[in-house]
Structure 1
């Protein structure tokens, strides 16, 4: 018998490695950062290929509870990614959540990363620190011409400083949380210098050394203000809002000394939730706040202790009926309804005078059982 003939070997075509770098980078961009980085061990060609595919750096609890060796490895990785001379990574987004360090010197590499990313046209950045000491953030963070979204959430006790030349000409979204400003006017100047700003959110921030919190922006469309956990003594100023393009307004928390809301004719929806209503100036200030809301189609009102201070429908009849209630309000939400006579008289007032009302939503306080509530007299 003759020797068995060996099967002919057929070469396997390596289609992946035959692709150009630009296409490979595009493919890698669909992978999570960790998976994209793992491809660097495939070959010399792949060693830095991942760098050009990463457009988002998201450090979720990045250094917390890591051993020192792991922290050093992590920092070396980011340094390689951002400062690699062979591949210049162009980031669109940079998110640092719960960045935890034991020493102020450990902030230094982070500042370098932020500055480098900003210098390369970074569009979106979010920083969440849990340290109590105030980090001196890079000046470029407040003067960048490329930033579109800026989110700052700092769990700090000291005051934060904003550069006097702060200006973000292309910023559209700004969110500030848990911040205390040494010079309150500096952050207000920054807001005014964001000429294309569309969305502004301020959560529990303290503005020191100001007598008036003035928010003036021609293109602002969404404004969310929350002062729910701010000490009353820290809210010792008048608020003025001038936003002719505003379509959504949300206000939560204590009321200040007074309010001036002007040029809000584009407003469509407003959500107002007032607490600490027994503080000095509360009734007058709350009235000023509500008077500035005109032409609104959807209004959500939640006022702490409203039922204790209301005079019922008889008292409401003494006041002129707002034109917005008569001709514009299509949806009303009332929270904290306790089933009292005053509460139902107020509801009756809205139903009788809101001529174009389409939806009324009542959120009851859980004081009455369903059967007991149904036994209440109808108005």
Structure 2
């Protein structure tokens, strides 16, 4: 692109300006050209600025966005994807920015203080593999927060906001060390967490939580999800709960402490099979006697259940238990393997306490 094209626009408004560029040998000249474009776009009252620049990591130590971007009153959305240092000028004031997405950039505490104090209109913040040590954000306008980290050395993540309704955390790490997650979002409705359990997680006042997806994986320096129960108790008021195989094993590890999920109306289990490693080591299979002993209070609020059977009888027994306990159940979907046609008769023999409709569907082996 030639800078003259933008200059000829004069002060005419630019709604969206994108720069997707592979920077190569003449790096200083190309950086200067990109900065010139950004200056012109700011003068043209740009609303969306999308910078996705690819460059060898060793060739670029710092690429500071021009200060005009942080002072551009028309800018509503900023996207930066670049392995570089991103700094906020010391004189940057309030901004009308509503959407901010950063990928692979290196930022410091001053940047997060700018988000907390100067971004009074921001609604959505997305951080992908940003390079920093700690993240602390307190913002009263933020509604959605997404954090993805696979290779950065972030230790502590603290996010706070009265209007936060949606938080997505995808956090995996491979180096030992102390890590923590603190969330203060009294109006949070949707929470999704993928990755490793941390040394410490503190979720405060999640009284409005409607849906939670917890897909945790074991980590090297935290053994066997020792603090999983404490974390799950903090989201006990959730209505829709989705868990994985590993998280389920953590739940059943401490059977002496029942989890108070009384508000759950939909429970989804993403597991390979409902085998005995999901129950206490002393249990001899998950028959209906076992399920009754667990006193799963949430069954009274179930209205629809979907169960996919694998080899063995444990999942079938769980289905029969639910039919005999869930008073408000309306529909049950049971997916069974071709050799499990006997399930239809066994389940239909259950003493249902509701008028629930049972739908059987045969699934093919993969």
- Do the structures match in fold with TM over 0.5? yes
Matching of residues 222-237 of structure 1 within 5 Å:
222-227=166-171, 229-231=172-174, 233-234=176-177, 236-237=178-179
The 3 A distance-change label for structure 1 pair 315 and 289 is farther
Q: Provide, for residues 15-59 of structure 1, a one-character-per-residue CA deviation record: whole Å limited to 9, x for no partner.
A: xxxxxxxxxxxxxxxxxxx8xx8995xxxxx97237623221222
2:159 corresponds to: 215
Give the number of aligned pairs. Answer: 306
Q: Which has more helix, going by share of residues? A: 1
SS of the aligned residue for 1:218 comes to: coil
What is the Cα-based RMSD across aligned positions, in Å?
Answer: 4.2
User: Is the contact between residue 71 and residue 95 of structure 2 (CA under 8 Å) also seen in structure 1?
Assistant: no
Q: Provide, for residues 103-152 of structure 1, a one-character-per-residue CA deviation record: whole Å limited to 9, x for no partner.
A: 336x54x522xx322211222111112x4xx5143347996532211111
2:109 corresponds to: 162
Of 310, 314, 324, 2:279 maps to: 310
Matched, 1:119 2:71: yes
Of 144, 160, 163, 1:199 maps to: 144
1:21 corresponds to: none
2:270 corresponds to: none
Q: Could you tell me how far 1:76 is from its partner in structure 2?
A: 3.6
User: Is the contact between residue 300 and residue 325 of structure 2 (CA under 8 Å) also seen in structure 1?
Assistant: yes
2:314 corresponds to: 342
User: Is the contact between residue 298 and residue 331 of structure 1 (CA under 8 Å) also seen in structure 2?
Assistant: no
User: Is the contact between residue 58 and residue 94 of structure 1 (CA under 8 Å) also seen in structure 2?
Assistant: yes
Q: Provide, for residues 212-263 of structure 1, a one-character-per-residue CA deviation record: whole Å limited to 9, x for no partner.
A: x543322110011112x322624x3454433221111111122123544342
1:79 corresponds to: 36
The 3 A distance-change label for structure 1 pair 88 and 160 is closer
SS of the aligned residue for 2:39 comes to: helix
User: Is the contact between residue 155 and residue 180 of structure 2 (CA under 8 Å) also seen in structure 1?
Assistant: no
User: Is the contact between residue 301 and residue 333 of structure 1 (CA under 8 Å) also seen in structure 2?
Assistant: no
Q: Provide, for residues 331-377 of structure 1, a one-character-per-residue CA deviation record: whole Å limited to 9, x for no partner.
A: 66779x74443344445555555555667788x9xxx9x42355668
> Which TM-score applies when normalising by structure 2?
0.66
2:188 corresponds to: 246
Q: Could you tell me how far 1:81 is from its partner in structure 2?
A: 6.3
User: How far apart are the structure 2 equivalents of 1:97 and 1:271?
Assistant: 31
Matching of residues 92-131 of structure 1 within 5 Å:
92-100=47-55, 103-104=59-60, 107-108=62-63, 111-112=65-66, 115-121=67-73, 122-129=75-82, 131=83
Matched, 1:58 2:13: no
Name which one, 1 or 2, has greater alpha-carbon Rg.
1
Matched, 1:371 2:338: yes
SS of the aligned residue for 2:176 comes to: helix
Q: Could you tell me how far 1:77 is from its partner in structure 2?
A: 7.0
Q: Could you tell me how far 1:289 is from its partner in structure 2?
A: 2.9
User: Is the contact between residue 3 and residue 33 of structure 2 (CA under 8 Å) also seen in structure 1?
Assistant: no
User: How far apart are the structure 1 equivalents of 2:17 and 2:173?
Assistant: 32
User: Is the contact between residue 197 and residue 216 of structure 2 (CA under 8 Å) also seen in structure 1?
Assistant: yes
Structure 1 segments unaligned to the other structure (5+ residues) = 1-33, 41-45
1:275 corresponds to: 217
User: How far apart are the structure 2 equivalents of 1:141 and 1:149?
Assistant: 21
Structure 2 segments unaligned to the other structure (5+ residues) = 250-274, 281-285, 348-366
Matched, 1:298 2:240: yes
1:9 corresponds to: none
User: How far apart are the structure 1 equivalents of 2:25 and 2:85?
Assistant: 23
Q: Which has more strand, going by share of residues? A: 2
The 3 A distance-change label for structure 1 pair 351 and 90 is farther
User: How far apart are the structure 1 equivalents of 2:220 and 2:341?
Assistant: 31
User: Is the contact between residue 90 and residue 117 of structure 1 (CA under 8 Å) also seen in structure 2?
Assistant: no
User: How far apart are the structure 2 equivalents of 1:359 and 1:67?
Assistant: 64
Q: Could you tell me how far 1:198 is from its partner in structure 2?
A: 0.6
